[in-house]
Structure 1
Amino acid sequence: MEAIVIEKGINLSYSIEPDIIVKSDSERVKQVVTILLDNAIDYTNDTGQIDISLTISKRHMMFFIKNSGKGIAKQDFPKILDGFYRTDPSRTQESGGFCLGLSIAKTIIDRLRWQDICHKRRK
């Protein structure tokens, strides 16, 4: 995804807490991160900003991606994780896809949530 970020002139910053260990299905975790980052890139204006952070609080990993796109209207929040839902119908032809990414990410997270154990590596 680095090539797309560079091509769009997006500034990518990150804050990742060191020594976090997540005992989980690494392929599914990568899939969720990829979906969320791809979505952030798609909805960030050219020369925009994406901020990523990863921290741990007690035994919960907190992963945030924030972008400088126009945002999501309050009335769209309840529907944004539904498959096929697009907040801006005009983007259908522009970006293609079926708007399943966030729905897939939510399903993966829901399935992994009960089994994941997060902790900090002891030095």
Structure 2
Amino acid sequence: MTKRTYTCGLDAAIAVMGGKWKGLILFSLGEGPLRFGELRRAVDGISERMLILQLREMEHSGLVHREVHHQVPPKVEYSLTDFGHSLNAAMAPLGEWGEENLERIEAIP
């Protein structure tokens, strides 16, 4: 019998999502592939360094695909994998819940 790393599915999902920025990156890439600069503008408030780190983690976990187009100037596009799309779909109800309860959540001291 193998030892389980996570106690439940929610624990595993949160481990993959981890942090503030990955959900916003997933949401932004849900509309289609974006270049780094486009993605940085889409995710308001993220620093270049943090975006690079988050994209690397998401690529490592299989959520994001990084495609390098060999041209001048160099072009790199990021897109969601099927795994990333499935997580994005799973996060949609949570986003809807947040929208429905935004005023109440913002009022929490």
TM-score (structure 2 length as normaliser): 0.29
Q: Greater share of strand residues, 1 or 2?
A: 1
Q: Greater share of helix residues, 1 or 2?
A: 2
TM-score (structure 1 length as normaliser): 0.27
